[in-house]
Structure 1
Amino acid sequence: MIADKAQSWAYAEEFVIEDEVLLQARERGAQLGCHGVQPGTGAALTVLAAAVGARAVVEVATGAGVASLCLLRGMHPDGVLTTIDVEVEHQRAAKEAFAQAGFRPTRTRTISGRPLDVLPRLTDGAYDMVVVSGEKSAFPEYVDQGLRLLRSGGVLAVDEALLHGQVADPARRDETTTTIREVGRRLRSDDRVLSVLLPVGDGLLVSVRR
């Protein structure tokens, strides 16, 4: 049974074939020491953005732009992605990916800074989708801010929600695993959202604002 699940996961990860633009963005990320979302997660983000017709999206942790590209490809053609990262060099690499993919500069708003400094300045209920990645210890605060930013029917997506299988292992009690596990519990019991944990990539926790 476990072998069958592993084989199914691998098949799902390879179901959507990434193009050269995404592969090069991944390579830039590897050179900078920042990993992008896994292929299955990227495909899911594209589909979610398309499903809600996203025109305004916030992304926490730009990296080299892998998840950003996936979001932009699913968003409305006039949609704007606001992406936040503390590393200017990462965002420079992401902008290279955006240009290579043919997205107009007006489609993205890159903000350099700590997400917890930037997010409170964004407008309540003005966004169709919020994607959380990056610093795990700050996930609870990112999620709280994300729920504030979402309109009714908007989508919150938390990457690495399974953390290399550690979250599902009850024996794992380290601080990072416990934090991510608690984020899942909070969203699962929050009456403001409907939530599901998707076993794509390294786990994608998805919540829809009521």
Structure 2
Amino acid sequence: MSNRTINLNDALYHYLLDVSLREHAVLAELRAATLSHPHASMQIAPEQGQFMALLVKMLGARRTLEIGVFTGYSALAVALALPDEGRVIGCDISREYTDVARSYWDRAGVGHKIDLRLAPALETLDALIAQGQEGSFDFAFIDADKTAYDAYYERCLTLLRSGGVIAVDNVLWSGRVIMPGADADTLAIQAFNRKLHQDARIDLSLVPIGDGLTLARKR
């Protein structure tokens, strides 16, 4: 037993993957292809994708949001977990990155489940709210520009139903959240973490998976 989260060295991490990861073949191919990308660190870890897919299934989700798509691994993991009528609305501004994503979504047979909106995410989220879609989504994943996390969170909270979950990536920020002399991104994450700790609208858990994943369940 342990009274705190165990540290994972490389050997233990690979053991974790060996005994638990059930990665779809196209997810594995996409992950391998993204390893050579100049911004490969922006892709989530495979165990995190599997964890989010499990959350989506446990929620019985039908409608989900994703803020920050990159090459599409997390959207693919979620789409594979959704029923055939389920939908992911993905928000990104890069056609270059998301063209890669589309090709793998189609190869996995879930391209029809993902509605990609190439526009600033706040514009897309505000448009959904203006269309009267408040309270109609089950799950949201935020993994984009850190200084806008609070704005994304507030929109997603409005769009989520009671009992829905927002997952927020990079909330431990490679440990920089506890370092002095923080830059703008780190300061934004620090403020965001403190805000959610006191937010009575949600139930909260920060899970030490990947680079830190906050789960916020809308009350």
TM-score normalised to structure 2 length: 0.86
Shift, 1:30, TM fit: 4.3
Per the TM alignment, residue 202 of structure 1 is displaced from its structure 2 partner at its CA by: 0.9
| Pair 1:158-2:186 in alignment | no
State the 1:170 CA deviation.
Answer: 4.7
Q: The residue matched to 1:5 in structure 2 has which SS?
A: coil
Equivalent residues of 1:13, 1:201 under 8 A apart? no
Which residue identity is paired with 1:154?
A: G
The aligned counterpart of 1:94 is 101
* Partner SS for 1:143: helix
- What do you get for the CA RMSD once the two structures are aligned? 2.3
- The answer to whether residue 65 in structure 2 is matched with residue 58 in structure 1 is yes
Query: CA 1:137–1:3 in structure 2 vs 1: closer, same or farther (change >3 Å)?
Result: closer
Q: Is the 8 A contact 2:22 2:50 kept in 1?
A: no
1:80 aligned to which of 64, 67, 87: 87
Q: Which amino acid is 1:107 matched to?
A: K
User: Does residue 43 of the first structure (1) align with residue 45 of the second (2)?
Assistant: no
RCO higher in 1 or 2 (8 Å CA, sep ≥ 6)? 1
The CA deviation string for residues 137-173 of structure 1, in whole angstroms up to 9 with x for no partner, is 1111111111111000000000111111222x25353
Tell me the distance in 1 between the aligned counterparts of 2:8 and 2:157: 33
Partner of 1:174: 183
Q: CA deviation at 1:74?
A: 2.1
Q: Deviations over 1:81-121 (max 9, x none)?
A: 11011001222111111111122x43111110111211111
Listed as ranges, the matches of 1:194-209 within 5 Å are 194-209=203-218
The reply on whether 1:5 has 2:2 as its aligned counterpart is: no
Counterpart selection for 2:199 from 173, 179, 190:
190
Letter matched to residue 6 of structure 1: L
Instruction: Determine whether 1:135 maps to 2:141.
Output: no
In the TM superposition, what is the alpha-carbon distance from 1:58 to its structure 2 partner?
0.6
- Listed one character per residue, the Cα deviations across residues 4-52 of structure 1 (whole Å, up to 9, x for unaligned) are 5123972445531434311322244445544311122211111111110
For structure 2, the residue ranges without an aligned partner over 5 or more in a row are: none
Label 1:36 to 1:208 Cα distance change in 2 as closer, same or farther (>3 A). same
Aligned partners of 1:141, 1:12: CA distance in 2, in Å?
35
**C-alpha separation in 2, matches of 1:84 and 1:28:** 22
One-letter amino acid of the structure 2 residue matched with residue 77 of structure 1: D
Q: CA deviation at 1:126?
A: 1.2
2:114 maps to a residue whose letter is: T
1:106 aligned counterpart, secondary structure:
helix
In the superposition, relative to structure 1, how do residues 50 and 31 fare at CA in structure 2: closer, same or farther (>3 Å)? same
What secondary structure is seen at the aligned counterpart in 2 of 1:6? Answer: coil
User: Where do 5+ consecutive residues of structure 1 fail to align?
Assistant: none
Identity %: 27
Q: Alpha-carbon deviations, 1:43-83, whole Å to 9, x = none?
A: 11111111101100010011111001111122233210110
Q: Number of aligned residue pairs: give it.
A: 208
SS of match in other structure, 2:66: strand
Letter in 2 for 1:204: L
Change in CA separation of 1:33 and 1:149 when aligned onto 2, cut-off 3 Å: farther
Match in the other structure for 2:122: 116
